[in-house]
Structure 1
């Protein structure tokens, strides 16, 4: 009966894998999921308490029996039983145990606490925010992504050290085994071996509590064989595998830990956008001392009366392309209002689909949830749009198609956005443009991006521009601004940018994409056709 009940509980919890989910992609959902887990904990704690009560009654019965016979033990069983039967106190306690005590035991055994537990767990599981298989796999992928981007030492990572910040969260040997198997299934054999080897070490430290070392060793050998086989095939094809998928030498020749350290020490960026992006996310400087010496900060009013008493605080991040940070452009009240308006509207972020005829699709290129807020939703939103216009000197009224409505994004576990350009139309063929909405074509491309940072991020979360060689760190109340198009109307390829994964904490941003057509007199063309 107990085995059956346990199987039923496992079945209830495993039903979650039948439906796709995306609770891992936003920190706003994670807080509610932790609260949900507290409900599960309460249900299971109640079950444990009830079960311990049952076991306590049974143990008391056994204890009384032992106390009755422990001092009456004899070699002859028949003589022993006669001795017990001849003692009136033993006789009384025998009758009490088999009449009164047994009724209590029988009542407890017949009471089915498992079924009520199953019903309560079912109620929690039916919550739409209950994690699904996609969330588990998403959280797993996020850890691997963080490891790749920030070159995290796996031994420190599993012990809760996140780039110098020690936390109380740790992984077990079984957790590392799951990570290794996930990396293996994704074809990331180099990472798989690293996770599996760490799992083997932890299993020894745990005395095989969560998983046995001999089982892990079998999986490690499979991963090593698969890695070396894939590396050999790539070398024959003269192909280059990523550092996540493969080391540079067979693992049978040199251990994983030595090869990983050598790869980190010998890395070169050259024109590799991905490598530069990761380096910027780690906080490395890619600008020369000469260029750094030309960057400056200043106050600006644009001769606007509104800004005389509160001038704009401008920090220059890059000269070409021009990238700026505007500090203290949102108040705490405005930030909280934006988040409150956006939270009930958050949905998994989508990107433009590559398939012909498709508009948008969910993609692992961007892991976040977004909401869109029209100015008419709250008077404060209109005031914020007016402020953007004063700061940038551009027209941003979304009612007149001068800009898009405000987008709010919330990043979850390892939340990121791979390097991309914000312009939508440049570089597209006539056929592709012909499939776009006529109204959107009339508004023109995204000439500029104004990105508010709604909170400080404890670790990670910067906006990195690999070709410009700079990263903008999120500062609550500040905003990043850059032009996506040159003055000649062509896309600026050097504005390639991405959102670094959130390593610790959470991240809220809000974007206002300003459209091209309405800015003809606000940002006119120059005489130089290449500018």
Structure 2
């Protein structure tokens, strides 16, 4: 277990800098401290909001008493002066009510957080960096997606299992950088996990849209068509499902596939890991070292020759 731990520590430092937040263990420890303070921050906001809501309740009570008095003597509106006073009262009351209802302190609260030491709240690019880190870990140790999603690295438990939505997010980050190899792996895992979740943490229709396109990009056109059929079945009003079905059918027609065979004789899944991003000799050597496939002395000989 200790070997796995130190390998992972080294792996984190090896990762390219995708976001400042993920450059060191120290940064992650700071983020952990921020997460610990979230309940206190929210409780502070709730207390402020409760005060505001109490003011609104008092306003309602006071205004209701005034309304009761008015309705006891409806003749007062026939007097122009009284009519003016009532309209003025209503106008001012609405302004006060509008101010109290709009002043929910949310913007002030968020600004205080942004301008404080808590400004390191992660953003989308940080999430992308963390997801890419998982993909690099997976490739370095040649990890099975299902095992990694269950929190295992080389048979060692390193975390709790991921949810279907976690897997969906990792797949989506891979998709955003046109890494369809990993998109297929993680969207496929997400599809499997929603079957055992109650309620599901991710929508099947959302997963299928990414999954189908990744299938197509990895030369699995028939499978992409079947996945989109399923998408259309569960979400017939989906804005792209029907058009994508026709697109995949047209692709099969262009390949000479008969219409009657579009959904038959589906070939095995093709999902080849791209070469372009992994051609670096240094990286290949590093991955082999992490997997204990070559001794450290071989690394030193290689570096001396370089």
* TM-score, normalised via structure 1 length: 0.32
Residue 136 (1) aligns with residue 127 (2): yes
Say if 1:273 and 1:466, in contact at 8 Å, map to a contact too: no
CA distance in 2, matches of 1:219, 1:283: 35
- On the 8 A contact 2:34/2:118 being kept in 1, the answer is no
Structure 1 residue 221 corresponds to structure 2 residue 212:
yes
Preserved contact between residue 52 and residue 104 of structure 2 (Cα < 8 Å): no
- Pairs within 5 Å for 1:12-411: 21-48=19-46, 112-124=104-116, 127=119, 129-228=120-219, 253-255=267-269, 274-284=283-293, 286=294, 318=297
Report the counterpart of residue 340 of structure 1 in structure 2: none
Q: How far is 1:275 from its partner? A: 4.4
Alignment partners' CA distance in 1, 2:142 and 2:132 = 15
Write the distance in 2 (CA, Å) between the matches of 1:162 and 1:206: 23
Offset at residue 228 of structure 1 (A): 1.0
Distance 1:169 1:52 in 2: 36
Checking the alignment, whether the CA contact within 8 Å between 1:21 and 1:132 is kept in structure 2 is no
Query: Is the Cα contact below 8 Å between 1:189 and 1:223 reproduced in 2?
Result: yes
Task: State the Cα distance separating 1:109 from its structure 2 match.
Answer: 6.5
Relative to its length, the structure with more helix (as a share) is 2
Deviations for 1:195-233, whole angstroms, at most 9, x for unmatched residues?
001111222322354321122112211110011179xxx
- Unpaired segments of 5 or more residues in structure 2? 1-17, 57-96, 222-265, 274-280
**Structure 2 vs 1, CA of residues 177 and 274 (structure 1 numbering), >3 Å: closer, same or farther?**
same
Distance 1:215 1:55, change over 3 A: farther
Sort the Cα spacing of 1:200 and 1:125 in 2 relative to 1 into closer, same or farther, 3 A. farther
Larger mean Cα displacement after TM superposition, 129-138 or 140-149? 129-138
Question: 1:462-506 deviations in whole A, cap 9, x for unaligned?
Answer: xxx2975xxxxxxxxxxxxxxx65xxxxxx23xxxxxxxxxxxxx
Q: 1:224 to 1:35 in 2, by over 3 A?
A: same
Paired residues of 1:43 and 1:120 also in contact (CA < 8 A) = no
Task: Give 1 or 2 for the bigger CA radius of gyration.
Answer: 1
Name the count of aligned residue pairs.
198
Relative to structure 1, is the Cα distance of residues 224 and 466 closer, same or farther in structure 2, using a 3 angstrom cutoff?
A: farther
Q: How far apart are the structure 2 equivalents of 1:27 and 1:166?
A: 20
